[in-house]
Structure 1
């Protein structure tokens, strides 16, 4: 009888370790598979968000370059500063994502690239008198030096028609945390 007990322990314990080892490997592989699926989903969402952001940036850059070309045309067309800013106001108010501030002479371009975020670009528009003669421009040089100090740091285009004041991502929705999963708080 003693021999039978010895035979069970010789085959039973290694079999239990083998079954336990296989179960551990299966559980680890399932956990690894779940983690990789979560990483894939997270990477896909990050790729979509980044692509949408850069598409919005590209559209904003196109808007800015089109605006500069339009402003150059308005500079040549307008006879006075008030006529120039009226043309600018009419043009920007007809644009889809643009808003004109006539007091500050700035345009704000806002393009949503997700449900919760938008790209906001603020552009300042300048008036330069193209018809002024050289003597008037010489006397205005001291005024220009003061305005250059104010405009330091702006992204100025050729002929100083417009400059970018800010280029920001703006959160357009409130943050609502996901409380669907209960978390142990130690109580």
Structure 2
């Protein structure tokens, strides 16, 4: 009988360790699978957000290019600064996602790319007198307008007709923390 006891304990304990080892490997693989699915979901959301941002940036760059071309046409068409800014105002007020500030001569292009964020691009519009005799005076007027804007503490990327004052991502929704899980407060 002692031989049977030794035979059972000799085969039973290694079998229990083998079962326990296989069980541990299954649990670790399930945890790894869950983590990898969560990482995939997070990466997909990040990819969607980044793609949406760069698509909106591309649209804003296209808008800026079209605006500069349109402003060049308005420069050639307008006889005075007042007429020029009236043409600009009419054009920009007819555009979607654009607000024109006639006092500062700036346009703000705002386009949402998610439920909580938007891209805001602020563009300064300059008047240069196309009827001036020398091109040096044109360049000086443009340089003065740009340097005045820079001196006002603004970062400007400009042509002689329009300049980008700011290019920002704006949060459009309030932050609401998730309070669904109660937290121990030491009471």
TM-score scaled to structure 1, two decimals? Answer: 0.87
- C-alpha displacement at 1:151, in angstroms? 6.4
Unmatched runs of 5 consecutive residues or more in structure 2: none
Structure 1 counterpart of 2:145: 145
- Indicate how the Cα distance of structure 1 residues 181 and 35 shifts in structure 2: closer, same or farther if over 3 A, else same: farther
Counting matched residue pairs gives 187
- Indicate how the Cα distance of structure 1 residues 38 and 186 shifts in structure 2: closer, same or farther if over 3 A, else same: farther
In 2, the alpha carbon distance for the partners of 1:138 and 1:7 equals 103
Unmatched runs of 5 consecutive residues or more in structure 1: none
CA contact (8 A) 2:57 2:119 kept: yes
Please tell me the root mean square deviation across aligned C-alpha atoms, in Å.
3.1
Structure 1 counterpart of 2:31: 31
CA contact (8 A) 1:154 1:165 kept: yes
CA contact (8 A) 1:128 1:161 kept: yes
- C-alpha displacement at 1:4, in angstroms? 3.2
In 1, the alpha carbon distance for the partners of 2:91 and 2:27 equals 64
Q: Deviations over 1:77-135 (max 9, x none)?
A: 11111111111011101000100011110000001000000000000000000012239
- Indicate how the Cα distance of structure 1 residues 88 and 3 shifts in structure 2: closer, same or farther if over 3 A, else same: same
Structure 2 counterpart of 1:16: 16
- C-alpha displacement at 1:137, in angstroms? 2.8
In 2, the alpha carbon distance for the partners of 1:54 and 1:145 equals 30
CA contact (8 A) 2:107 2:124 kept: yes
- Indicate how the Cα distance of structure 1 residues 11 and 138 shifts in structure 2: closer, same or farther if over 3 A, else same: closer
- After TM superposition, the structure 1 stretch with the greater mean CA deviation from structure 2, 128-137 or 169-178, is 128-137
